[in-house]
Amino acid sequence: MSPKDARVFIVATCGPATPERCAAPFFFAKQAADQGARVSICFILQSALLLKQGVANSVYAKEGGRPVSDFIQAALQAGVVFNVCDAALKMNDMSPGDLIDEVDSLVGPSFLITGGLEANLVLNF
C-alpha cells in the first residue's frame, strides 16, 4: 500500500504538564500527510488542553525550541484533521468555545474505536 492510499489515525493524550511529549503527534501527523496519507488526530485526556485558545503558544517541547503552536499550524497546513473527544473537554473543565477555530469536530468515545479500526496505521502519543 502506498502512503497515498493510507489512512493514519493518531491518538493524542499528553498535555501541557508533559511538554516534551506535546509536539510529537503534530510532527508525525504532518510527516504522514506530506507523504499523501489521510491523517486525523483524536485528542483525548489532557491533550485537549493544547487546543485551548492561547495554550499551545506557551508550551515548548524543548527549551529554546519552537512553541507547540508552530507544530499545530504545520499539521493543519498539511491537511491534518483535528477531532476532540467531548469527554476530554469535560475532564479539563473546557467548553467547545474554548477551542481554537481549526478543530474539525467534537466526537464521542466510540469515535476512537471506529477510527482505529478503519485506519491502516494507529499511532499513540
Report pLDDT for 4.
78
What domains does the chain contain, in order, with CATH numbers? 3-124 (3.40.1260.10)
Question: How far apart are the two ends of the chain, measured CA to CA in Å?
Answer: 24
Say how far apart CA 88 and CA 60 lie, in whole Å: 22
In the sheet that holds 7-12, the strands lie side by side as 105-107, 81-85, 38-43, 7-12, 121-124
pLDDT band at 2 (very low <50, low <70, confident <90, very high): low
Chain centroid offset of residue 19 CA: 14
Q: What is the identity of the amino acid at 8?
A: V
| One-letter amino acid of 61 | A
pLDDT tens digits for 75-106? 999 999 999 999 999 999 999 999 999 998 99
Residue 20 has pLDDT above 70, yes or no: yes
pLDDT tens-digit map of 53-72: 999 999 999 999 999 999 99
| Phi and psi, residue 10, nearest 5° | -110, 135
